[in-house]
Amino acid sequence: MPQTIVIFGASGDLASRKLIPALYLLECKKRTVHPLRVVGVSRTPMTSEQWRNKLGETTKRFTGAAFDRESWEAFAPSVHYFPGDIDRPEMFGGLDAYLRSLEGDDESGRLYYLSTSPALYPIMIRHLGQSGMADPSRGTRRIIIEKPFGSDLKSARRLNQEVHASFDENQVFRIDHYLGKETVNNILVLRFGNTIFEPIWNRNYIDNIQITAHEDVLVGHRATFYEKAGVFRDMFQNHLLQLLTFVTMEPPARFEADAVRDEKVKVLRAIRAMTPEEVVANTLRGQYRSYRDEPGVDPLSRVATYAAMRLMIDNWRWKDVPIYLRSGKGMSCRTTQIVVQFRQAPHSMFERGETSSLFEANRLLIQIQPAEGIQIYFQTKVPDTDMEIRQTQFNFNFRESYQGELPEAYQRLLLDALNGDASLFARNDEVEIAWQIIDPIQRVWDDSDSTDPDCYEINSWGPPSADAWIRRWGHQWFDLCPVLH
């Protein structure tokens, strides 16, 4: 069936930087259905030709060596622009008529992409429903909603109600770009496609799990948003909890949307709730030193730009295995990584020589970005010694093993949405349960008016107190900047 992608907020950064380049590259790979039409909607006055010319330059910039002028010229005629004010309900009637003129008499699927301020989501969804544009009787009708999906449990539930008043749940795709990354998808293959890992992927062999999502950039122009959100809402409710579910979920019977998402929801439901006193003990906040000097930031702001959290999953597989989540701005490097720390061998028969390091347990490191790959740390004998041992590592690197650049996450997610595969998109109950986990934590810190986040220097691994905090439970952070080739 022919498809039309309608991008609301088309003059914004996401459309030019991510969405159009992703669609162009999918078209180059001949992965999309034909004909594929892309219609941008924004209040900025512009013609289709002007938008195409602008996108030609930005797509060239953001696709780099993959850009081919001849291929772009073949793709550009399928790109159209419709100026309109989203706040006006009559605009949607005009848009629907314009789309029908492009689609002709044939049935055509539509994918609506909400790439605007989240405050506009309810308005657009309501107008799409009231204008009949959500009705699938003339072809599939699907909608992609960008994060953040709500700012707390109450707003997420309210937004879900708005969505379900116009769209059925199977029409809705709540996007988290982390889940489109090849390395995140590879977690499932690593766990469930190899017999060597699953037998030891449990509390009997794993001591703790650490999930890190650090950024080296500062808050910058996002200060207004960040003052309302902070790191818990910005990173933990979506990215980090999503990674946690992939690492800890049970194997689904089939790789299909509902089976995968059922298992993820089971993990979130099993996360142990915390009292306010336990929140204080099991979380830690930080703020980089110059944050209060950022434009738009309250000079007395207590918003966290760094946070660490210790969670427990109360089920048979993970009982009493701590899972540490952390994320921060202004870190020493940009890295998203998962560390699976195995237990120490029950007994060591080997002597430690003068040059050998302390005996360390096995460790599995999954690098999500930017040095995508997997490292396994294990013990080996140092040659020409009397059984002296040393930790060694085995490396797998995506870019070395597979030729060419890894596809951007939006390529995979847009293609899945076009095909109706919601496996890598969040379901309504999944979103709400994640907010049920984060809201009580955020509420404790919001109520702690006399408590400032711990200060840390830019280009560090966070506040020094974070090291003492994790040592309280007999563990230590695995701080490693990825080696880029």
Range name among 73-87, 283-297, 349-363, 380-394 with the lowest pLDDT average: 349-363
pLDDT exceeds cutoff 80 at 34: no
Peptide bond into 148 cis (omega under 30): yes
Q: Which of 107, 40, 16, 112 is nearest to 418 (CA)?
A: 112
- Per-residue confidence at 178, pLDDT binned at 50, 70, 90? confident
HEC string of 217-265 equals CCCHHHHHHHHHHHHHHHHHHHHHHHHHHHHHCCCCCCCCHHHHHHHHH
User: Bridge-partner residues for 48, per DSSP?
Assistant: none
Percent of the chain with pLDDT over 70: 96
* Rounded Cα–Cα distance for residues 266 and 284 (Å): 26
Residue with tokens 């007999």: 474
Query: How remote is the C-alpha of 319 from its chain's centroid?
Result: 26
Q: Which of 58, 1, 20, 16 is nearest to 414 (CA)?
A: 20
Q: Which of 219, 283, 285 is nearest to 453 (CA)?
A: 285
Q: Which of 147, 156, 144 is nearest to 433 (CA)?
A: 156
Q: Which of 463, 133, 142, 421 is nearest to 289 (CA)?
A: 463
Mean pLDDT of the chain: 91
Peptide bond into 35 cis (omega under 30): yes
HEC string of 154-177 equals HHHHHHHHHHHHHCCHHHEEECCH
Q: Which of 273, 272, 303, 309 is nearest to 288 (CA)?
A: 303
SS3 39: strand
Active-site residue flag, 214: no
Contacts of 338 (CB under 8 A, 6+ apart): 187, 209, 210, 211, 212, 243, 247, 365, 366, 368
Angle (nearest 5°) at CA 323 between 318 and 326: 160
* Six token digits for residue 356: 């050998």
Residue with tokens 């703020």: 287
* In contact, 3 and 32? CB cutoff 8 Å: yes
- Per-residue confidence at 404, pLDDT binned at 50, 70, 90? low
* Rounded Cα–Cα distance for residues 368 and 338 (Å): 8
* Rounded Cα–Cα distance for residues 58 and 406 (Å): 20
pLDDT exceeds cutoff 70 at 14: yes
- Per-residue confidence at 277, pLDDT binned at 50, 70, 90? very high
* In contact, 35 and 2? CB cutoff 8 Å: yes
Q: Which of 132, 113, 120, 112 is nearest to 86 (CA)?
A: 120
A 10 A CB-CB count for 465 gives: 16
* Rounded Cα–Cα distance for residues 124 and 172 (Å): 14
Please identify which of the residues 164, 239, 347, 485 carries the catalytic annotation: 239
* In contact, 390 and 357? CB cutoff 8 Å: yes
In one letter, which amino acid is 102? L
Query: What pLDDT, in 10s, does the model give residues 183-235?
Result: 888 899 999 999 999 999 999 999 999 999 999 999 988 888 899 889 999 99
* Six token digits for residue 484: 């880029």
- Per-residue confidence at 21, pLDDT binned at 50, 70, 90? very high
In one letter, which amino acid is 262? D
- Per-residue confidence at 359, pLDDT binned at 50, 70, 90? low
pLDDT at 74: 94
SS3 463: coil
* Rounded Cα–Cα distance for residues 442 and 431 (Å): 16
* Rounded Cα–Cα distance for residues 227 and 304 (Å): 9
Query: What pLDDT, in 10s, does the model give residues 110-168?
Result: 999 999 989 999 999 999 999 999 999 888 999 999 988 999 999 999 999 999 999 99
pLDDT exceeds cutoff 50 at 355: no
Q: Walk across the sheet containing 389-397 and list its strands.
A: 389-397, 373-381, 363-369, 335-342, 206-214, 323-328, 306-311, 283-288, 454-456
Peptide bond into 299 cis (omega under 30): no
Mean pLDDT of 285-313: 94
SS3 315: coil
Predicted structure pTM score:
0.93
